[in-house]
Amino acid sequence: MKTAVLSPIAWRTPPAGYGPWEQVASNVAEGLVMKGVDVTLFATGNSITNGKLQHVAKTGYAENPHMDPKVWECLHISNMMEQAGKFDVIHNHFDFLPLTYTRLIKTPMVTTVHGFSSPKILEVYKKYDSTSHYVSISNSDRSPDLHYTATVYNGINAGEFTFRQSSKDYLLFFGRIHPEKGTYESIQIAKKAGRKLIISGIIQDQGYFDSKIEPCINNDDIVFVGNSGPDKRDTLMGEAYALLHPISFKEPFGLSVAEAMMCGTPVIAFNSGSMPELILSGKTGFLVDTVDEAVQAVDDIRSINRKDCREWAFSEFSRERMIDGYLDVYEKILKM
Angle, CA 270 vertex, CA 240 and CA 118 arms, to 5°: 110
The class of domain 158-316 in CATH terms is: alpha beta
Return d(Cα 326, Cα 310) in angstroms, integer.
23
pTM of the model: 0.93
What ranges in the chain are assigned the alpha helix state H? 20-34, 69-81, 122-127, 183-193, 206-208, 230-239, 255-262, 275-278, 291-300, 306-317, 319-334
For the domain 2-155+318-334, what is the CATH superfamily, name and number?
Glycogen Phosphorylase B; (3.40.50.2000)
Sign of CA dihedral 77, 252, 160, 331: negative
Return d(Cα 85, Cα 154) in angstroms, integer.
28
Output the pLDDT for position 209. 98
Output the pLDDT for position 17. 83
Return d(Cα 267, Cα 298) in angstroms, integer.
10
Domain edges within the chain: 2-155+318-334, 158-316
Determine contact, residues 47/57, Cβ cutoff 8 Å. no
Whether 158-316 and 2-155+318-334 are alike in CATH topology: the answer is: yes
Return d(Cα 240, Cα 288) in angstroms, integer.
19
Residue 144 to residues 124, 201, 276: CA-CA distances in angstroms?
Answer: 15, 32, 19
Sign of CA dihedral 116, 121, 124, 127: positive
Return d(Cα 188, Cα 288) in angstroms, integer.
14
**Sheet bearing 52-54, strands edge to edge:** 52-54, 38-42, 2-6, 89-92, 109-113, 133-136, 148-151
Output the pLDDT for position 116. 86
pLDDT, mean of each 10-residue run, the chain (336 residues): 97 92 97 97 98 97 94 97 98 97 97 90 96 96 96 96 96 97 98 98 96 96 94 96 97 96 98 97 98 98 98 97 98 93
Output the pLDDT for position 336. 83
Return d(Cα 243, Cα 336) in angstroms, integer.
43
Determine contact, residues 114/95, Cβ cutoff 8 Å. yes
Output the pLDDT for position 84. 97
Angle, CA 312 vertex, CA 311 and CA 314 arms, to 5°: 65
Output the pLDDT for position 211. 98
Structure confidence by residue, pLDDT tens digits, 169-203: 999 999 999 999 999 999 999 999 999 999 999 99
Output the pLDDT for position 119. 87
Q: Which amino acid is located at 68 in the chain?
A: D
Q: What is the largest CA-CA distance in the chain?
A: 59
**Sheet bearing 171-174, strands edge to edge:** 222-226, 197-200, 171-174, 242-245, 267-270, 285-288
Output the pLDDT for position 325. 98
Query: DSSP assignment of 100-169, as one string?
Result: GGTTT-SS-EEEEE---S-GGGHHHHHHTGGG-EEEESSGGG--TTS-EEEE----B-GGGS---SS--S
Return d(Cα 308, Cα 295) in angstroms, integer.
22
Return d(Cα 293, Cα 302) in angstroms, integer.
15
